[in-house]
Chain A
Amino acid sequence: MSRLSLRHTLIAAFLTAIGTHTVLAQGNDALRIVHDESDYIIPLGWLNGGGRAPIELRGADARYAMKLPIPQRLAIEEGKLEMVYTNSISLIPRSQLAVTLNERVLAQLPVKADEPDHAARITLPLEGLRPGYRDLGFRAAQHYTLECEDPSAPELYSQVDAVQSVLRLKVKRRALAPSLARLGDVFDRKLWLDRYALQLMVPTGGLESHEDMRQAAAQISQSIANVFDYLPVSVQVHELRAQGATHDPHQRFYGVQLSDGAWDGILLGTRDQLAPFLNESILAQIKEGYIGLFPSDQDASRYILVISGTTPAEVREAATVLNLPGIALPDRQDISISELRLDQGFQRTQPAQIDKGWISFANLGFRTLTMKGMYAQPARLEFWAFREMLDPARPFIELQLNYAYGAGFDKKSALNVMLNGNFVQALPLQDLKGEQIFRAKVRIPTIALRPGVNELQFMPTVTGIDLGGACQPLFTENLLVSIFEDSRIELPPISDYMRLPDLGLFGKTGLPYTRLADGLGIGVMVGDMKPETLGSALTLIAKLRQTHKGPLTSLRFLSSKDATTGLDGLIVVGSAAALPEAIREEMTAFLPAQRWQTVGIGTRKSTDIKEGAKRWLDQPLAPFMQLAQVNDPATGELILSEGLGRSAALVQYVSKTGNTPVTVLTAADPTHLLQGASRLVEHTTWGMLDGSALLWSMDGEAVARAESVHHEFVGEAPAINPMSYLISDRPWQAALAVLILIGLLAGLAWWLLRARARRLRMED
């Protein structure tokens, strides 16, 4: 990467920081499980996606069910539900609230109008708490009169407090037969965790020795992250030191200790590297790429997954196997990998465009959704768009919606399409028999699109023809509207042409690093080989896997000494002092001792003749001097000498070398780097990614977010010429230029034709 002058970098930083604003601090508000080795206290809201909102039971017959995951590894010895609930004071004693487990009523709770707030403790039968996903539910039969009543009357409600209501579970860890076929029970999404700490144990220097070893670490981190889906996974690298003491032949592992907080661990290394740490019998099995699952010597209910091979390449191969989706492993404790053949550089896991120019909703992450009732939550679709990817001659992009609705809709019903909160178009739902509509056209005005992420909402406002009333039940079961995922929108794929920097795009899709589905051409570079730094990088790679939802099997894991030429994208992880010099020169914000931040603090007037002339062409009747007055931003520029302190930063920019997008994760030191990475991958922080830089503290509060005014475009431009935009932006000047060109052409034609006439002695 070339050196840039300080002035240029300052200007770049200035441009980056224009529009800098501080995001309101948001506390890390998600519900968490409280537990120790054998006791778990799980708030009901945790089963509801971590939300604190109470569980509402409305109407005469209300039901609500949540999935209760029961992992295979935990034998439940006792389970109690401690419920705090409130009922409406309008309810008559005939009303009741029942608790169900797997549809079976466990308890029927009284409802008293004069005592609306209640608590109850319900013992859960153990036979209903078998491993798997169980349904814990509530049923409310609510009445306000013994005679005819409106079943939808608003006073018919009960609420279950999702925070104070908890499940208390006493468990015992179960040792499972170590089988690769049951790897999913070991690394189990059903475990009651707020985050998964992956303990990756490697021999000292093991990852530093060879890139294939680092690749292996990256692959295994990804595979674990994939198992845990949305659950944040942080990777902790433990370097093992060989102990010279005599080895107990009954032990499998020597000097390999799982930390107390970890469930399980992964041991990664070549056979030779792992020789000091493994039993001879296990070592003897390692003849090629090797995967083996063994109970820990400390605790048979915890496991160590051994990934090894005779060479670093075999180790990487073995780790990659686990990262592949849908691989079936046999009911064995270990396997050897003879050969793994992988295609490389494939662009997408599925076609981005189903027809030329169209992207299906499915490819944008939308799944078919049915919205029920009169007050259903709208369906949402996010997509990226910016001016330069769209045809300037078209004032609309088209959306073709496939949807269906039920019978008995009142003719006032409609499916409203909103773009970024603004109403765009309504689709009437007027056929009494219901309908399936294929490719209903909706026009999205391009003027209403925001650069970057845009959100479409499909909001049904529906009523049935049956309006209910006294003794007339309000029938709303028919109010169903489905939006199908094969609907499509007319956009070029964002992965083909991106406007960077855009951390929002990175956070939602992994782009620009996931443009090729296997990550070919992408490098993750660490500033040093400290375990914390390596762990931070692996944590970020794991999150990338979860975001991308596909294995990045070709991603490279580089040290700071490795060359970066030829890479299409680079992610750099390192403490501020350990960042390579080339990165430090180009990094646009939050770099101690070089450039921290430039903020706009106001405006000041100055005279710019050139700008005035440009404006005058658009407004020839306006006074020239008035047009020449420009507002320059007044700025404050800050350079901090000390480091990031307890903050971590994620900064994205486009390197001048090869137009490569670079994303840098940094902190003051490796310890804070690892803490920052762990915090970054949590939902609250990761969900705030946007703009070109993010700064956050260890408790997860986003301190600042910067938006760059100047953007670069990466990828293959759609077939829209930049000249189109230039002319569109300066129409009068362009018209004048065309007029001049045509005038010159006409003059040349006149000269040529006159010459011909004279040459042929044509009278004139």
Chain B
Amino acid sequence: MLNRLLPSSTSLDKLLDRRGLLFWIAGLFTLLWLAHLPLTRDAQTVMAATLVITLFVIMLSMDRLEIAQARQIKYLRLLAILLAAFVSLRYFSWRINYTISYHDPLSLIGAFLLLGAEIYGLGIYLIGAYVNSWPINRNPPPLPEDADQLPTVDILIPSYNEAPELLELTLLAATQIDYPRHRFKVYLCDDGGTVQRRNTPALSTAAWKRHHTLKALCEKVGAIYVTRERNEHAKAGNLNAALRDHCDSELVLILDADHIPTVDILRNTVGFFLRDPKLFLVQTPHYFINPDPLERNLRTYEQMPSENEMFYTVIQHGLDFWNASFFCGSAALLRREYLDKIGGIAGETITEDAETAMTLHGLGYNSVYYGKPMIAGLQPETFSGFIVQRSRWAQGMVQIFLLKNPWTQPKMNIAQRVAYTSSVFFWFFPFARMVFFIAPALYLLFSLKIVDAFLPWDLVAYALPHVLAAMILSNILYGRTRWPLISELYETIQSVHALPAIINVLRHPRSPAFAVTPKGERLEDNFISQLALPFYLMLLLDIVCLIAGAIRLVVVPEDIGVITLTMVLTVVNMIFSMAAIGVMLEKSQKRAAYRIPAQLSDIAASVRLDTQRAPVRIVDLSHAGAGLLSTQNLPKGETVLLSVAIPAWKGRQVDIPARIVRHKYARNHRWELGLLFEPENIDQQRAIVALVYGDSDLHQANQNRRQRRIGLGEGFVFLMKTAITRSGENFLFLTRVFLTRVFLHRLTQRALSLIPFKIKNARTPS
């Protein structure tokens, strides 16, 4: 077991490591023993307060230390983990020993459900802390000068129903990656134009059209169009068919259709394979240029770090230390030889990516995570699409848990097993979230005694420090990428719809089908998502619980402690419900192209109109145009040339034709100009793609821009304000719709009544 934990080293190092580990384990058991000791309430309060205050001081210091890249950070992180774990373990010792007793069968069931949910949360929290105990940041190894020594790479872009315009961007970017051109090929693997689809009468017209369009597109950009006979095993089958029938390179770069790569993606990843012959994967972050439905509908995108950033900016770095960072389906480079050993991309589950990585880890191969964002992708536009995607991930991970459990893989070490367990077990959160949601109602509405707490002060002495410690630790470990309570919000919103999907998988592990996540949709108008109803019901339940709580306070005032606690939990649930309702109002999205902020890059650019040349500052970019800041006012409608030094092309100057479509006085003698690109040839298109999507430093800077830590109170207030504001918008929208329909109905009725004769079969609009 020790060898598995601590692979090879010198004898002395091994001895010291073993002894150190033994001491550490002994110390841990001492801590566990101390955590279980019953103490008087006062003693517990003193101890918990001391440790929580220490945690708080660490949290306050983190920003300063991270900026200074101080060496103490790693130690303080470990200290914080142990402090929080100890406080939480003391809570659970009390919780298990003193707050569960038999009153009646239903109360006992409720008590065990709530305890089970809490223990699940504790397990995930502790395992997560372990996984993230030592995140590492790698630097790419240098590549050999001789191009022929570089490994060959096949870039596979699987596609099913994505728009050709979107695919064109990805293909253009892929074909101009900074790597010897003769050492890589780009394949568009089209599952939308397979022989099967082309031969299916209902689909053939569209399939043929797609086939031709994409084939022409590939020829235009220099990529290779491939397809297959039949649509089997979804994305995994598509990739495996391409690998089998067309590809022969040493490495394979997989990119989703909407994941536009930067020019340096291969230069930053190939070197790892040269250094480690047992390496099977280099995974890079998924970076998105558009908000997910929650961010868009709650309008938090500009202020708050995106939900995925916690995983790619923190957790994957933690997994990397344990050699457990896993394949995420795209933006990853794999070694062909090892893929072939397992028969290609795995397809037993619908998260074929994690399954493939786990299989290869299980054979003793290594992985690396390089944390610089080198693709720009798109999040689902609608909440429905978001749920499709997340349900697939949840189902796939549960399938992995059931069908390919990490603890049964032959050559994984314990650290890897724990890491995969953390990743897989996380997806059982819908169960816990639902329990947490209904728990207050069990008491307030049905008087089920699911928690025995002698005094309110017991809750203050045990439960409050645990909650604070968990939140502070989360802020310490993930605070720059995940604000307080946002995890709970995302989980609550996903739980309602993911839970039935997970239950289905538990009953029929092999039943789930791969569902493609819709990307790039346009929403012409605001509307209420079709998945909204449960959240209205949840809010209604919360309101009913609050009323019940208020009644209880009057009727049973001696239970004030428990009533207050459950009402506070109900209020928290209510905030989540309201935020969810805010999400359900899908805001219109009419952009064809998302803008990427570019101020931080300080790109040298100027606009030329005839002989006039005005230096400009590029504010934002998209493949459709650019937003500029100019000292000169240029007339709207004019065709200009945007001269820009493209950072991805090492500052090569390029002229891009464009038209001024917007101009507005900003301030301080500056003008905001909006440009619409009008490329005339493919080279100009390539330049645009390189300018907008080619520079990984720009993605990095934009990602860092929103990553900041805020305090617990500030986080709570932010969430509360957002929830109230956005849910208010939802209710206002509903009211308007309702009134409009009622008004129209009445107007129509009145109009009809004025008509002197009846029209046969006239129907009033509903």
**A752 in contact with B24 given A394-B98, A395-B41, A738-B47 (CB within 8 Å):** yes
- Complex: A63 Cα to B225 Cα, angstroms: 114
Partner of A748 from B24, B43, B134, B321 at Cβ < 8 Å: B24
Partner of A751 from B20, B30, B139 at Cβ < 8 Å: B20
Complex interface: stretch among A35-43, A662-670, A726-734: A726-734
Least Cβ–Cβ distance between A645 and chain B, in angstroms: 48
A727 contacts B37, CB within 8 Å? yes
- The majority secondary structure among interface residues of chain B is helix
Q: Is B39 located at the chain interface by the 8 A CB criterion?
A: yes
Residues of chain A lying within 8 A (CB to CB) of residue B54: 739
- Complex: A392 Cα to B39 Cα, angstroms: 5
Complex interface: stretch among A5-13, A202-210, A756-764: A756-764
Complex interface: stretch among B6-14, B163-171, B191-199, B746-754: B6-14
Q: Which residue of B lies closest to A391 (CB)?
A: B38
Q: Which residue of A lies closest to B458 (CB)?
A: A395
B98 contacts A393, CB within 8 Å? yes
B31 contacts A739, CB within 8 Å? no
Least Cβ–Cβ distance between B414 and chain A, in angstroms: 13
**A753 in contact with B75 given A727-B43, A748-B20 (CB within 8 Å):** no
Complex interface: stretch among A463-471, A481-489, A717-725: A717-725
A738 contacts B82, CB within 8 Å? no
A741 contacts B30, CB within 8 Å? yes
A764 contacts B136, CB within 8 Å? yes
Partner of B43 from A396, A721, A731, A755 at Cβ < 8 Å: A731
- Render B74-106 as a binary contact track against A, CB cut-off 8 A, 1 for contact: 110011011100100000001001100000000
Least Cβ–Cβ distance between A490 and chain B, in angstroms: 11
A738 contacts B455, CB within 8 Å? no
Q: Which size class do A's interface residues fall under?
A: 35 or more
Residues of chain A lying within 8 A (CB to CB) of residue B454: 394-396, 443
A741 contacts B27, CB within 8 Å? yes
- Complex: A732 Cα to B454 Cα, angstroms: 24
Q: Is B65 located at the chain interface by the 8 A CB criterion?
A: no
Q: Is B638 located at the chain interface by the 8 A CB criterion?
A: no
Interface residues in B22-39 (C-beta closer than 8 Å to A): 23-24, 27-28, 30-31, 34, 37-39
Residues of chain B lying within 8 A (CB to CB) of residue A729: 43
Residues of chain B lying within 8 A (CB to CB) of residue A739: 50-51, 54, 83
Residues of chain B lying within 8 A (CB to CB) of residue A751: 20
- Render A703-745 as a binary contact track against B, CB cut-off 8 A, 1 for contact: 0000000000000000011011001110110111011011111
Q: Is B46 located at the chain interface by the 8 A CB criterion?
A: yes
Residues of chain B lying within 8 A (CB to CB) of residue A754: 74, 134
Least Cβ–Cβ distance between A679 and chain B, in angstroms: 44
Residues of chain A lying within 8 A (CB to CB) of residue B41: 393, 395
Partner of A745 from B6, B7, B27 at Cβ < 8 Å: B27
Least Cβ–Cβ distance between A553 and chain B, in angstroms: 40
Please, how many residues of chain B have a CB less than 8 angstroms from a CB on the other chain?
52
Least Cβ–Cβ distance between B20 and chain A, in angstroms: 5
- Complex: A745 Cα to B35 Cα, angstroms: 15
Q: Is B337 located at the chain interface by the 8 A CB criterion?
A: no
Find the residue from B8, B47, B75, B321 having the highest chain A CB count within 10 A: B47
A742 contacts B21, CB within 8 Å? no
Least Cβ–Cβ distance between B133 and chain A, in angstroms: 7
A742 contacts B136, CB within 8 Å? no
B82 contacts A753, CB within 8 Å? no
A720 contacts B38, CB within 8 Å? yes
- Render B563-588 as a binary contact track against A, CB cut-off 8 A, 1 for contact: 00000000000000000000000000
Q: Which residue of A lies closest to B323 (CB)?
A: A760
Residues of chain B lying within 8 A (CB to CB) of residue A747: 75
Q: Is B17 located at the chain interface by the 8 A CB criterion?
A: yes
Least Cβ–Cβ distance between A734 and chain B, in angstroms: 6
Q: Is A750 located at the chain interface by the 8 A CB criterion?
A: yes
- Complex: A142 Cα to B51 Cα, angstroms: 75
Q: Which residue of B lies closest to A761 (CB)?
A: B275
B78 contacts A746, CB within 8 Å? yes
Find the residue from B23, B40, B134 having the highest chain A CB count within 10 A: B40
- Complex: A392 Cα to B74 Cα, angstroms: 37
B79 contacts A735, CB within 8 Å? no
Least Cβ–Cβ distance between B92 and chain A, in angstroms: 13
Least Cβ–Cβ distance between B528 and chain A, in angstroms: 49
- Render B292-327 as a binary contact track against A, CB cut-off 8 A, 1 for contact: 000000000000000000000000000011010000
A752 contacts B17, CB within 8 Å? yes
Least Cβ–Cβ distance between B12 and chain A, in angstroms: 11
Q: Is A23 located at the chain interface by the 8 A CB criterion?
A: no
- Complex: A753 Cα to B40 Cα, angstroms: 36
B86 contacts A738, CB within 8 Å? yes
**A735 in contact with B21 given A396-B454, A749-B78, A750-B75 (CB within 8 Å):** no
Q: Is B395 located at the chain interface by the 8 A CB criterion?
A: no
- Render A67-81 as a binary contact track against B, CB cut-off 8 A, 1 for contact: 000000000000000
- Render A359-398 as a binary contact track against B, CB cut-off 8 A, 1 for contact: 0000000000000000000000000000000011111100
A735 contacts B46, CB within 8 Å? yes
Q: Is B727 located at the chain interface by the 8 A CB criterion?
A: no
Residues of chain B lying within 8 A (CB to CB) of residue A759: 6-9, 13
Q: Which residue of B lies closest to A733 (CB)?
A: B46
Least Cβ–Cβ distance between B370 and chain A, in angstroms: 10
Residues of chain A lying within 8 A (CB to CB) of residue B238: none
Residues of chain A lying within 8 A (CB to CB) of residue B320: 762
A764 contacts B137, CB within 8 Å? yes
Q: Which residue of A lies closest to B136 (CB)?
A: A762
Least Cβ–Cβ distance between B278 and chain A, in angstroms: 12
Residues of chain B lying within 8 A (CB to CB) of residue A724: 37-39
Partner of A762 from B8, B30, B46, B321 at Cβ < 8 Å: B321
Partner of B39 from A443, A728, A746, A755 at Cβ < 8 Å: A728
B38 contacts A393, CB within 8 Å? yes
B31 contacts A745, CB within 8 Å? yes
Q: Is B44 located at the chain interface by the 8 A CB criterion?
A: yes
Q: Is B721 located at the chain interface by the 8 A CB criterion?
A: no
B31 contacts A760, CB within 8 Å? no
Residues of chain A lying within 8 A (CB to CB) of residue B38: 391-394, 720-721, 724
Partner of B17 from A721, A742, A749, A755 at Cβ < 8 Å: A755
- Render B50-81 as a binary contact track against A, CB cut-off 8 A, 1 for contact: 11001000000000000000000011001101
A744 contacts B27, CB within 8 Å? yes
**A742 in contact with B82 given A720-B38, A735-B47, A748-B23 (CB within 8 Å):** yes
Residues of chain A lying within 8 A (CB to CB) of residue B458: 395
Q: Is B138 located at the chain interface by the 8 A CB criterion?
A: yes
Least Cβ–Cβ distance between B602 and chain A, in angstroms: 28
B138 contacts A763, CB within 8 Å? yes
Q: Is B42 located at the chain interface by the 8 A CB criterion?
A: yes
- Complex: A383 Cα to B568 Cα, angstroms: 41
- Complex: A741 Cα to B28 Cα, angstroms: 10
Q: Which residue of B lies closest to A763 (CB)?
A: B138
Q: Which residue of B lies closest to A760 (CB)?
A: B7
Residues of chain B lying within 8 A (CB to CB) of residue A744: 27
Residues of chain B lying within 8 A (CB to CB) of residue A752: 17, 20-21, 24
12 other contacts beyond A396-B454, A731-B47, A763-B137, with CB at 8 A cut-off? A393-B44, A394-B454, A728-B42, A734-B46, A735-B50, A738-B51, A741-B30, A746-B75, A746-B79, A746-B81, A752-B20, A753-B78
A-B contact pairs, 5 of them (CB 8 A): A727-B47, A735-B51, A738-B34, A745-B27, A746-B79
Enumerate chain A interface residues (CB-CB to B < 8 A): 391-396, 443, 720-721, 723-724, 727-729, 731-732, 734-736, 738-739, 741-757, 759-760, 762-764
9 closest Cβ contacts across the A-B interface? A393-B38, A731-B46, A731-B43, A735-B50, A746-B79, A728-B43, A728-B40, A746-B78, A753-B134
